[in-house]
Amino acid sequence: MFTFVELFEMIRTRSLSYTYNSEKEIAFGDLNIAGGDQFLLLGESGSGKTTLLHLLGGLLKNQQGTIEVNGTSLTNLSESELDRFRGKHYGFIFQRNHLLAALSVEQNLLMAPYLAGLSQDKSRVEEVLMQLGIADQKRKRIQELSLGQAQRVAIARAVLNKPSVILADEPTSALDDRSCDRVSELLVSVAQQNQATLIIATHDQRLKNRIHNLIQL
């Protein structure tokens, strides 16, 4: 019974804390997040949302305590192992979409498998673009996209490698109510379609309507 629970536990942290500039320490409560779960990481600015999200995503190191993702302890990974682990297991979405402006939509998406060292499957690109309703934008340059389209491309890039965990940092805070609603719906449905655990760090209370699991900082 115990092993059964272990297998399905996607993210598990124990006595996690992070010290800023060797003075300000933020401690986080232990997390146990099952595979496929969707969580909101709520808190005001400066409460450590982004720090926790980056720690969970392996973007930030040197924490105290342990983080296990999909059975792997991030603390034990070397820098380059962590890079590879990120590429294979995570999808990241940020407040700004951070697409590579020099590349086309398709090239941006293909960067995900390329950098993760996976095979570049163009039909997977088609599939994801279709799921997000922007299949016709494939050849376009990033500058030619509207803000909403660009955000969808960023989401598409995050889910392309079928990650086990999707981490989103304030994906909706700059959006109006309608767009917020649409993006959150997209995130939830695309995470479900790809069987990924979704954690959204935000101070945007509007998302509570859609995701009910909360981690309050």
Which stretches of the chain bind another protein, using CB under 8 A? 50-51, 54, 57, 59-60, 79-80, 83-84, 86-88, 90, 92, 94-96, 98, 100-103, 107, 110-112, 114-117, 120, 157, 169
Task: Indicate the SS3 state at residue 43.
Answer: coil
Residue (85 or 210) nearer to another protein, CB: 85
The 3-state DSSP class for residue 121 equals: coil
Closer residue to another protein in complex, CB, 3/78: 78
Cβ–Cβ < 8 Å for 164, 197:
yes
Q: Name residue 60's amino acid.
A: L
| Least distance in angstroms from the C-beta of 198 to another protein | 16
Of 50 and 131, which CB lies nearer to another protein in the complex structure? Answer: 50
Nearer to another protein, 39 or 113 (CB): 113
Nearest-angstrom CA–CA distance, 160 and 144: 22
DSSP secondary structure string, 92-115? Answer: EE-SS----TTSBHHHHHHHHHHH
97: closest CA among 169, 186, 190, 192? 169
Shortest distance (Å) from residue 10 CB to another protein: 18
**Which residue, 98 or 139, is less far from another protein as judged by CB?**
98
Q: Minimum CB separation from another protein for residue 131, in Å? A: 19
Going by C-alpha positions, the residue among 95, 190, 93, 101 that lies closest to residue 145 is 101
- Pairing state between β 24-28 and 9-20: antiparallel
Where helices occur in 57-104 by DSSP H, the ranges are: 79-89
Find the shortest distance in angstroms from Cβ 40 to another protein.
Answer: 19
> Which residue's CB is nearer to another protein, number 43 or number 94?
94
Minimal distance in Å, beta carbon 42 to another protein? 17
CB of 185 to another protein, least distance (A): 24
